[in-house]
Structure 1
Amino acid sequence: MKLLSKDIEKDNCGQVALVPEEPEDMWHTYNLLQVGDSLRASTIRKVQTESSTGSVGSSRVRTTLTICVETIDFDSQACQLRVKGTNIQENEYVKMGAYHTIELELNRKFTLAKKLWDSVVLERIEQACDPAQKADVGAVVMQEGLANIVLVTPAMTLVRGKVEQTIPRKRRGSCAQHDKALDRFYDAVMQGILRHINFEVVKCVLIASPGFVKDQFCTYLFQQAVKTDNKVLLENRSKFMQVHSSSGHKYSLKEVLSDPAVISRLSDTKAAGEVKALEDFYKLLQHEPDRAVYGVSHVERANEAMAIDVLLISDNLFRHEDIATRSRYVKLVDSVKDNGGTVRIFSSLHVSGEQLNQLSGVAGLLRFPIADISEEEEDSSSEED
């Protein structure tokens, strides 16, 4: 998704202009749209014309319409998005108040205006427009003296950094110059990894090279991490995977990603974090039920006690037509973040999102046990009786 302009006032009303560039962007747009929003986009309209002789004909014309959104239809198989609403801006082909359905198209600009841009929607735009937010996989394709640091998104590969240095050959009886140059090269690659790879987003980092370069680099990397107490590298050590490649050039990435061992490791990177979070929730529910809650009222009660460590919430809930209900979930997300908790927004198109929806769409993993909230509710209701 490309962000063309963003004009949001202090009271959080305003508009953004976006261009969807890949089918997945239609899913992001579906999550941005809400009933009552204003959508301006290019569309095809069937227009009836009457000639001077009185004969009536019809033709299809392309025009730009602004509609007030009433219904939103997303086809998950074809990744197509149709938005129906009434025309709210004068147009030579369409009367004010007339209904029209806009089918959003790839690589065509649309402008979305809202009376209130909440934090969840703004974060969705940030994720959709920042390739690094979607890059589940990082890779370093290297050989002696050359390294390409690459981010792999669902749609493309982005070279974020390139390290090129001259490494002197080993001389008979003296390897000092060669080893020093190699250390300088490895250090430059390490700095590139720390600068360009966001370990909060990336689920796996592939280190690929011909021969033993990858092994030597990984040894150097983690020796330095221990020496400098670099917590980012040490905590994410399990994400690094060594793979053979024929060279250190970018084109070698294709053979790396087609390696069967890599394919099995990356088979579900996009949703791996969500799947693990849901597994952790079910384990807690089984073994420590006082540290797992689900259902919006229970989760809110736990949040009031600042007990939520990880909030699991379905993106389905932010598409609720009732503004007050939608605001309730946004407020919950903001509050958990303010209290230092982690928020994972699940896609309802993924199997983990479907499972979460069966648990009311919202659940929480707690920092500390809380006595059964449902019992508290029963006690308060019996007191009222």
Structure 2
Amino acid sequence: MQYLGYLDKLACGQRGLEPGGDVMMRPNRWRWVAVASVVLALAAFGCDKGGGEGGQTGGKAEGGGDKPAAGAIKIGAVLPLSGQTATYGEESLAGIKLALEELKEQDGPKLELVFKDNKGDSTETAKLVSQLIKIDKVKAVLGSVASTNTLKGAKVAQEAGVPLMTPASTNVDITKKGEYVSRICFIDPVQGSVLAKLVLEDLKKKKAAIIVDKASDYSVGLAKAFRETFTKGGGEIVGEESFTAGEADFSALITKVTELSPDVLFVPAYYGDVGPMLKQAGDRWKEIPVVAGDGIDSPDLYKLMGSYTGDIYMSTHFAADDNDPKVQAFVKKYKGRYSKVPGAMAALGYDATMALHDSLKRAGSSDPAKLKDAINGISKLNGITGTITLNADRNAEKDVVILKVSPAGAKFFKRIPSGS
């Protein structure tokens, strides 16, 4: 068994005996090679079980400490911890963990988290939500944080009758999957309308070009909302160009957009594409303000955009330099825990966890139907990202924050009250 333990460690990437040590020098070494082949295959299977990130079930169990409390309620999270939108998942998970640490010291139900990495893939999201529900037996799911992924996961949760709450997916169709699906963020028609008004009223621009990723539900939905409000307010869409996520060369698109002579660009896409696009555009777009949604709210944006110096505005959920006392208290705690400034995804992950915990307290049970009703009844919950009330469609009614972006980072520009 000593050798089997060593081989198991070796297969899982742990350091055991050194190559060339006692195991390989024993007599009958070919017999051991045969045994090793079987054990390596079994150990590799064990290491990969669950398809997620770390831990025995593919997602590390977290209860705010080293071990979950006895009788803790198991919840799941499906997030992109690798892939093109990995910073969203990393920040969301950091916010969730910070909330769990605080809840450990508070009254009410104790929570145990099992999280899984969907790699930014919608099919993987559906599979992992199913695993969390059927294998890990979670009572609720947090996630995901990109609309195309969340749409797939929401369908699975609704069919299983288990609550799914997304911290940050804004596509309007997500909560239409059914009564077990909710969100604590605003929706694309809200931020699209807010951004169109920002362009018309604050920036005083009337000729917009739209750049959209037509394979992204988020991008298409946000473009639609912006277009409707902008044209209704007297603006003109001078052209619309599309791209495919992950493209390396945007030169043709940049030329086409420049030739349209817009006085503003609307780019409803994710930071992994917008950053390189701006870097490649350089001086050609420097005099044209760029407006985008919360999809570019990532610390990696500033690395990817390089020294781009044109004006950039984004709608989002949170600003670390907002002077609201509760925001500054959260920033202090987050920096103390992770030694960096939180972004919107961290604040949303934190708020989603607190909202779920509050719902469990009010439900008095982890029964899915009772918990669903409690979640759908969230009203005036005081969160880091604002006061959260879910409407009849289980969408959060809350303020929108506008940030102005530069290579040095993002600064608070203004807050748009809910319903404006």
Greater RCO, 1 or 2 (C-alpha within 8 Å, sep 6+): 2
- Larger proportion of strand: 1
TM range (shorter): under 0.3
| TM-score, with length taken from structure 2 | 0.24
- Larger proportion of helix: 2
| TM-score, with length taken from structure 1 | 0.26
Structure 1 or 2, whichever has the larger Rg, is: 1
